Structure 1
Amino acid sequence: MSERNVSRRRSNGLRARWAAVCVGLALSLTGGLQSAAATSDTPEPPGGLLDAPAAFIEGSLHPDEPPAGADDWSCKPTRKHPRPVVLLHATWTNAFSDWSMLAPWLKQQGYCVFTPNYGGAPGSPFKASGPVPASARQIAGYIDRVLKATGARQVDLVGHSQGGGVTPRWYLRFEGGTDSAHPKRNKVRRLIGLAPSNHGTTALGLGTLATTLGLNPVVSTLVGQAWSDQMVGSDVNKKLDRDGDTQPGVDYTVIATRLDEVVTPFTNQFLTAGPRATVRNFTIQDICPEDLSEHVSLAYDTNAAQLVRNALDPAHAKPVRCGLSLPLLGG
């Protein structure tokens, strides 16, 4: 047998042993994490690097289906979690593709979870593309249905991009979500936005260019009116921001990422508290410096999910256990 073959066999043997060690370490770590989660009252989000693309594919194939854990219309809120959670998806997505991590995790913790599809035709995987005011009216009807079915007095909203920004804020202000004169009658207690489009976007300069050249109507014809409505300086944004960012009696949380490539600049996502409202603005990298999530993957970022949990139940907030989260993939 030649020395080359002996060397190759030794190399292959080393690779095999190293692979076994790596697998063993991975299994040990996974087991440890599962054990830690099992001993905790609040399990950590079940993040995985393939969750986001897998949900996008499944959501494209079944665009009108709710994600696991959502839309149980027999669910009744508990004393621990008295308000149903309504998850509002982003532009050009749907409930399944956006919420397949967060919906089952919140359900596991005892929340009643609901996820409407809005702003798009049945059968289309690319929803939330219609005019923001029309989408807000759809959300208004859906929330009324949730309140009636559950017997709850209020809901908490968690939204991604458009679903955490202009559309729920339009609902709160103009479609009956709040009562400024009597905040105790508000239908919404909390609004939690993941990369929300609160003050419009320049879309990395593309939106600014389209606005300057007067091309937004053309673009919106191709991709939906939600494009124009979310541009910096749009009529929707001007009307929405005219009397301040917030509504009395609502608690607002913004979770942004410095790596956002969609709602730009990312500081446009932040809110300023008005009378009888509270605002918490977070940048995920200030909490987990190595977090690499951008706009899309923030809905599948387990670090951001822990901030959502804390915002839903601030009386029992816990420190964020930072983990790996990658662009487009999450984790």
Structure 2
Amino acid sequence: MQITLRRLLAAAGAAALSSTVLGTGPAAAETQQAPVTGPYQLNFSAALLYSLVQPDAQAAGANDWDCTPRAGTQPVVLVHGTYANQYNSFARMAPELAWAGYCVYSFNYGTDGTDVAAQLPGVYGTTGLSDNGDELAAFAATVRQRTGFAEVDMVGWSQGGTIITDVLKKHGGGGVDDVVTYGATHHGTTLLGLGTLATAVGATDLTRAGLGQAAVDQIQGSDYITALTADGDTVPGVDYTVIATRYDEVSTPYQATFLEEGPGASVTNITLQDGCGIDVSDHLSMTASPRLIDLTKRALHPQGRGYVRCLPNTPVL
């Protein structure tokens, strides 16, 4: 049923998109037989629309196993968020990082969800965060093995940032150098109070059936979040850059994403609007914020250098 519904919805979406976006005919058919690389997108909405038709697409610039990174840098693993995928999360960031000389790698995790949300095309990451963290650890190990690097950097949006912490704590931080997260549910989310309400009225089973175990795990005060943060926010030897937006309506309160620096770690907490009030990114649109992308480049730069743009970026919701 899951496959049938995904195919029906994907077919409906394909009919709605113009041939100028996706292409038609034999050439397009040949493309379907190989991993699809989607076009560069300026915003999350366009990337989301594309991924309804190509749910397993990867972003331009990602997963080039012959890539040679700029001097002093490691491979960068990009980790998407809940109900998202590797394309719509990084359709702008991945190519811009690649243009700047970084070798970037991404994948879809939590692809076998049985909840209602997981039946939609391109909706991944709905499964439990502990298992999703294990998937990320395995993918990072593959990147290290195939590229020959002892360490990788990790960039995670929303749940993606949270399962990076899962990897660091369960699998050790020795294989990770720099971490950048944005809108991450490091300390859980109240989801503007809805998550708290679901817990209070005992509706977590309904939440799990409809939205997946990931939704339950990320509620503020959940068993998963409590265990994840029990021994502090960070691990030694890792440099963290944590980015929030004041207009986040998913990871709430937005300050809950910030990390407290523990022994041997370095943490830089940044609010996207500080110094740039015209960037009014929300949880979804922050994925394509030029300012956020530049902050990510600077965090990954060996000397922490880089120009940071201040440009308008509107919310999706």
> For this structure pair, what is the TM-score category when the shorter chain's length is used for normalisation?
0.7 to 0.9
More helix per residue: 1
- Equivalents in 1 of 2:67, 2:98: separation in Å? 10
Q: Deviations over 1:62-100 (max 9, x none)?
A: 11121110011222434242x000110010000011100
- Name which one, 1 or 2, has greater alpha-carbon Rg: 1
Partner of 2:117: none
* 2:159 is equivalent to residue 145 of structure 1: no
Alignment of 1:61-210 (within 5 A): 61-81=53-73, 83-121=74-112, 124-164=121-161, 166-174=162-170, 176-178=171-173, 186-210=174-198
Partner of 2:207: 219
Greater mean deviation of Cα atoms: 310-319 or 263-272: 310-319
One-letter code of the match for 2:107?
P
- Equivalents in 2 of 1:151, 1:78: separation in Å? 15
CA contact (8 A) 2:41 2:47 kept: no
CA contact (8 A) 1:47 1:301 kept: no
* 2:311 is equivalent to residue 323 of structure 1: yes
One-letter code of the match for 1:73?
W
- Equivalents in 2 of 1:47, 1:70: separation in Å? 14
Identity percentage over the alignment? 40
Q: Deviations over 1:240-267 (max 9, x none)?
A: 1110000000111111001110011011
- Equivalents in 1 of 2:235, 2:121: separation in Å? 33
CA contact (8 A) 1:76 1:151 kept: no
- Equivalents in 2 of 1:231, 1:60: separation in Å? 27
Select the residue among 282, 285, 307 that pairs with 2:270. 282
SS in 2 for 1:193: strand
CA contact (8 A) 2:81 2:89 kept: yes
CA contact (8 A) 1:74 1:149 kept: no
- Equivalents in 2 of 1:136, 1:261: separation in Å? 24
One-letter code of the match for 1:199?
H
SS in 1 for 2:221: coil
- Equivalents in 2 of 1:231, 1:100: separation in Å? 28
With normalisation by structure 1, the TM-score equals 0.79
One-letter code of the match for 1:206?
L
CA contact (8 A) 2:152 2:176 kept: yes
CA contact (8 A) 2:79 2:107 kept: yes
CA contact (8 A) 1:192 1:254 kept: yes
- Equivalents in 1 of 2:304, 2:226: separation in Å? 37
Quote how far apart the aligned CAs of 1:319 are.
Answer: 4.1
